[in-house]
Structure 1
């Protein structure tokens, strides 16, 4: 069973695009919440992300992973793939 991956994004955010590109490269299916200008949705995201309001915010199996740099750091250290299975 594949992991449940969720990512909150803005459509033109370069960090969001970079994070999605890594997930795509790994063949990971994910649910994207594009919250362009939607402050209510951003508030909900921040609640899930321990107050973090920057984008993207990424969750794997309801565990908060963090943003783009956090996702790439997990990948570099070999800790991302085990989370995705």
Structure 2
């Protein structure tokens, strides 16, 4: 299973959708809750090349993007190969 990391905020609907898709795929992930800012938020911004919105998703260190990007991968049939790696 690949290492999946997702940066989220508590009341974020897009975060909930992204996590629901990963859950439906049976993919385990490490979640970093950054509602209160701090070092993890700064880490996310750095890793996501300046993006400040959540969620920001990484699979095996590769920046996937946000919720819409994750669903686009799914629609294109490119998410399952990433999750099978």
Task: Please indicate, yes or no, whether the TM-score normalized by the shorter chain is above 0.5.
Answer: yes
Q: Which runs of 4+ in 1 moved over 4 A?
A: none
Equivalent residues, number:
84
CA RMSD of aligned residues (A): 0.8
Cα distance per residue 1:14-66 (max 9 Å; x no partner): 00000000000000000000111224321110100011110000000000000
1:20 counterpart = 2:19: yes
Q: Give the Cα–Cα distance (whole angstroms) in 1 for the partners of residues 38 and 46 of structure 2.
A: 12
Q: Give the Cα–Cα distance (whole angstroms) in 1 for the partners of residues 27 and 12 of structure 2.
A: 20
**What's the offset of the Cα at 1:73?**
0.2
Instruction: For structure 2, list consecutive stretches of 5 or more residues without a partner in the other structure.
Output: none
Q: Give the Cα–Cα distance (whole angstroms) in 2 for the partners of residues 30 and 40 of structure 1.
A: 20
1:50 counterpart = 2:49: yes
Q: Give the Cα–Cα distance (whole angstroms) in 2 for the partners of residues 59 and 77 of structure 1.
A: 18
TM-score normalised by length of structure 1: 0.95
Q: Give the Cα–Cα distance (whole angstroms) in 2 for the partners of residues 55 and 39 of structure 1.
A: 14
Q: Give the Cα–Cα distance (whole angstroms) in 1 for the partners of residues 25 and 33 of structure 2.
A: 21
TM-score normalised by length of structure 2: 0.95
